Structure 1
Amino acid sequence: MSTQTITREVEDAQATPVEKVRLLVPEIAARAEAADANDEFVAVNYAALKQAGLARAGVPAALGGGDADIRQLSAMLQEIARHCGSTALAFAMHTHQVAIPAWRWRHQKVTAVEPLLKRVASDGIILLSSGGSDWVGGAGWAARVEGGYRITARKVFTSGSPIGDMLMTTALIKPDGDSPPETIIHFPVSMKAAEVKVLDNWRTLGMRGTGSNDVIIEGLFVPDSAVALSRKAGEWHPLFQVIATIAIPLIYSVYLGVAESARDIALDLARRKQPNSDTVALAGRMETALRAAQLAHRWMLDVIDRNAPSADTVNEVMIGRNLVAENAIAAVTLAMEVAGGAGFYRSNGLERRFRDIQGARYHPLQPGPQSRFAGATALGLPTAGIY
C-alpha cells in the first residue's frame, strides 16, 4: 500500500492520534534504518505524519484542529518512537510547541495564541524550537533599533530544521558596555527569511535523523509588534513554568517509547535460544528499570493534569524527567545484555535504540540543576535562578 493511500485512510479515520499512527508505523519503521545510517532528516516520515493531520492534532477543535489532549499526544509520540526515535523526537518538538499555546487557550483563556494555532490548523505550518539555545537563560543578542530589534544568534539543537516554517525563539537584549543583560525577548522567526540560514552540521551518536542542525540568524529585524514576551534574564518566568511542565513530559514520551521497543527486541532475540539463569535475571532487571521509567512518566502526566503550572509542578516534572532518563537508559543498556551478541548487529535494530536513548541525558533539567532545584524546594529555598 502506498504512503499516499495510507495517509488518506488515516486522515479519513475517526481515530485517536495513536490509532492513526499505528496505520503509518510500517512505513515509518521501514525508513528508520536508512535515515540513521546516512545522517538524513526523516523528511518522508515527517511529511506522512503531517499529511495524516497529526501536526494539527493538538490544536483545539474550535480553532480547526484535532482537539487531542496531552495524554493523547504523549501516546502518539511514544508509539512513533517505538519504530523511529528520530521521527518521534523531531515531531515532539513541533507537538509541544502546539500543545503549550493550546493549553494556555483552554485553561488560561489566552486569546493571543489563536492566530498561531489557526495557522497550524489551516496552513499546516511546522513550528521549531531550539532546545539548546532557548531555555530559561536564553541565547543570542537583540540590539535595539528604531521600531524593534536586530537579532544575531546561533540556535543549536533545532530539531526538524529542514522542514520547519517558524522558529519560536528568544534573544537577550544587548546591554550597554559590560553590564549583564537584564531582559530576554520572545519572538517568532520565519525560516524563509533571508537572514536565517540552516547549517548541515547534525552528525551525532544517536537521533541522527532529527535534522537538529544549528540555525544562524544574522541581522534579522524583529519589530516591536512581533515581540510576544519580555522577561527578566536569569530567572524563571510563569510562562516558562508552563513550558517546562508541558513540554518535558511530551519529549520524554519519545525516550520511553525507545526503551519499550528495545525491551521488545531484546526479549525476541533472547527467546531464539534457551535463556540461562543469568539471562533470566538480566531480563528481570530490565523489566524493573523499564517499569520505573513508565511509572515516572505516568507521574509527569499526572502533574500536567493539575492544570496549575508553578515552581512546584516544574520540580515534580523534572524529578520525573530524571527518573525516566536514568531508568530508560538502564533498561536499554540491560536490553543489550539480554539480547547477547545478536544485539550488536545493526540489522536487529537494538544498537540504534541504544544510541538513540543516550539523547535522554541532554534535555533540561539535567541531573545537577535538577538536584539543586529539588533540594531547594525541599528546604524552602528560592529556585528562581536554578535552571
Structure 2
Amino acid sequence: MDRLDNMFVLSAEQERRLKAIGELADGFAEEAHRVDAEHDFAYAHIEALRRLGYFSYTVPADEGGEGISLYEFVLYQERLAQGDASIALGVGWHLGVVYDLNHKKQWTEAALTDLNEKIVKDQHLVNRAATEKASGSPTRGGKPLTTAKRRQDGSYVLNGRKTFTTLSPVLDHFIVTASVEEDTAEFLIPRNTAGLRIEETWHTLGMRGTASHDLVLEDVVLPESALACLLPKKSASAATPYLLHIPACYLGIALAARKEAIKFAYSYHPNSLPAPIIHLPNIVQQLGQIELELHAARHFLYSVAARWDRQVLPPERLNAELNAVKVTAVQTAMSVVDKAMRIAGAHSLALDHPLQRLYRDVRFGLHNPPMEDAVLSMLGKLAISDYEDAYGRGNAPSTRSEGR
C-alpha cells in the first residue's frame, strides 16, 4: 500500500477495510477510462461494491449496517476515488444520504427502518433527486417546482423533472423533494413506479461515468406512506457533515494524479539524458510541492471529520470548517493535477492517458456543493462578526498613523 494511502488509518479494522477497497479501486482504473471514453456506465464496479457490502457501511450497527464514522467514510471514499472517481462520487452520495437520514432522523421511524432494511439485506442504492434547472442547487435555497398534490384518499400525485440524478441507471429508490402546498417534502419512490422514467441527458466534460441523467415524473401516484418527511424551514447555508465525501473524492483524484506523474517520470527516459527524468531537480521539486499541498489539505479534511465524530463542540461550531474543507480540497486537487500534467508534459494530453481524464474530472468539483462563492462569503462575514464581537460595532481601534 502506498504511504499516503495508509497515512490516516487508525485501527487494524480500518486497515483491513481500506485494503479491500483499495484492491477494488486499483482494478477499477482501466474500466473507468473506457467508460469515460465511450460515455458508458461501470455496472461491474457497482456489483463489485455490492458484493463487498459497501452500500450498508453507513447504516447504523443497531440497524444491521457497519455504522462507520464520518472519519472512516472519508477514508474509504478517498481511496475508492483513486480508481474510479465517477463511481466514488455517486456511491458517496448514497452513503452520505444514508448517513444523513440516520443521524438527523427527520423521517418517520417506519420509513427509515424500511429503507435501512432494504440496504442491509439487498444492498439497495438510493440517492436524493433534489436539483432542478429552474431552482438551481438545493444548497442555495430554491423551492422545488416538482409538485405533490394530495388526493382525497390520502395518496399523492407527483409531477416534475429533476437534474443531476447521479447513478440513475442503478438506483433502486429515489428520494424526491417536492412542493406540497407551502411545504417541501421528501418522498421515497421505488424505481419501478409507474410514470417514473430516466431521460439520458448527461453529456458533460467531466465525471461522465456518474450517469447523472434527468429524472422525469409524470402523474406518479404514491401512497400516503411514501411521504417520508416534511423538511424543516432552515438556512440553506447550514453545513452537512456527510458532504465531506465530496472533498474526499477530489483529493482521491489528486492522489491518483500524483501516482501517474511518478509512474511517468520513472519510465520516461529521453536520449538527451543519462537517466529517467525522475532524477531531475525540477521534477523532484514539483513532486515535493505536490506532497506538501496534499499533506495540508488531507490533514484539514481528516481533522475536521475526527472533530465532528468526537462531538465535543456544538455542531454549529464546525459549520465553517465543514464548508471550508471542500473549497480547500478542490483548489488543492486542481493544483496537484495541473502539476502532475506539467511533469508528464504533452503526453498527459493524449486521450489514452489517464491524466487527461483526471484533469477533466477534478474540475467538476467546482460545481459540487457547497459552492465556493457562498463559502468565501460566509467565511468573510464570519471574520467581520468575530471582529465586531471583540470590539463592538463602530468601536474598533483606530488604524490611522499619527504624524502622517
- The bucket for the TM-score relative to the shorter chain is 0.7 to 0.9
Deviates more, 1:357-366 or 1:284-293: 284-293
Q: 1 CA distance for matches of 2:324 and 2:48?
A: 34
Mapped pair 1:59 → 2:59: yes
**Conserved in 2, the CA contact under 8 Å of 1:289 and 1:327?**
yes
Q: Displacement, 1:84?
A: 1.2
Cα distance, 1:58–1:214 mapped onto 2, change above 3 Å? same
Partner of 2:259: 264
Q: 2 CA distance for matches of 1:266 and 1:33?
A: 17
| 1:48-105 C-alpha deviation (Å, 9 max, x unpaired) | 1012211112222322223322222222211111111112112111111222234347
Cα distance, 1:15–1:323 mapped onto 2, change above 3 Å? closer
Q: 1 CA distance for matches of 2:155 and 2:161?
A: 19
Cα distance, 1:222–1:374 mapped onto 2, change above 3 Å? farther
Deviates more, 1:117-126 or 1:22-31: 22-31
Partner of 2:241: 246
Partner of 2:285: 281
How many positions carry a matched residue from both structures?
355
Mapped pair 1:339 → 2:338: no
Partner of 1:152: 159
TM-score by length of 2: 0.79
Partner of 2:86: 86
SS of residue paired to 1:228: strand
Q: Percent identity?
A: 25
Q: 2 CA distance for matches of 1:252 and 1:140?
A: 29
Partner of 1:299: 303
Deviates more, 1:321-330 or 1:23-32: 23-32
Letter in 2 for 1:137: G
Q: Displacement, 1:322?
A: 0.6
Q: 2 CA distance for matches of 1:38 and 1:225?
A: 40
Partner of 2:396: none
Q: 1 CA distance for matches of 2:122 and 2:264?
A: 45
Cα distance, 1:24–1:348 mapped onto 2, change above 3 Å? same
Q: 2 CA distance for matches of 1:259 and 1:14?
A: 22
Q: 2 CA distance for matches of 1:228 and 1:309?
A: 27
SS of residue paired to 2:161: strand
TM-score by length of 1: 0.83
Q: Displacement, 1:232?
A: 5.5
**Conserved in 2, the CA contact under 8 Å of 1:140 and 1:170?**
no
SS of residue paired to 2:82: helix
Q: 2 CA distance for matches of 1:230 and 1:103?
A: 16
Letter in 2 for 1:188: L
| 1:160-219 C-alpha deviation (Å, 9 max, x unpaired) | 100001111212235xxxxxxx42112212221121111112111111111111111122
Q: 1 CA distance for matches of 2:383 and 2:155?
A: 42
Q: 2 CA distance for matches of 1:140 and 1:115?
A: 28
| 1:117-150 C-alpha deviation (Å, 9 max, x unpaired) | 1221013211112363444434233243322543
Partner of 2:402: none
Q: 1 CA distance for matches of 2:102 and 2:76?
A: 17
Match of 1:351 among 341, 349, 356: 356
Deviates more, 1:326-335 or 1:292-301: 292-301
Partner of 1:34: 34
Q: 1 CA distance for matches of 2:157 and 2:118?
A: 25
Q: 1 CA distance for matches of 2:327 and 2:161?
A: 28
SS of residue paired to 1:128: strand
Cα distance, 1:211–1:140 mapped onto 2, change above 3 Å? same
Q: 2 CA distance for matches of 1:232 and 1:15?
A: 39
Q: 2 CA distance for matches of 1:309 and 1:138?
A: 28
The gaps in structure 2 that reach 5 residues or longer are 1-12, 133-137, 268-275, 387-404
SS of residue paired to 2:142: coil
Partner of 1:99: 99
Q: Displacement, 1:264?
A: 1.3
RMSD: 2.8
Q: 1 CA distance for matches of 2:127 and 2:381?
A: 32
**Conserved in 2, the CA contact under 8 Å of 1:206 and 1:359?**
yes
Letter in 2 for 1:173: V
**Conserved in 2, the CA contact under 8 Å of 1:293 and 1:325?**
no
Cα distance, 1:163–1:336 mapped onto 2, change above 3 Å? same
Q: 1 CA distance for matches of 2:58 and 2:126?
A: 13
Deviates more, 1:367-376 or 1:82-91: 367-376
Partner of 1:323: 328
Q: 1 CA distance for matches of 2:108 and 2:164?
A: 29
**Conserved in 2, the CA contact under 8 Å of 1:143 and 1:149?**
yes
Letter in 2 for 1:294: R
Q: Displacement, 1:355?
A: 1.0
Partner of 1:168: 175
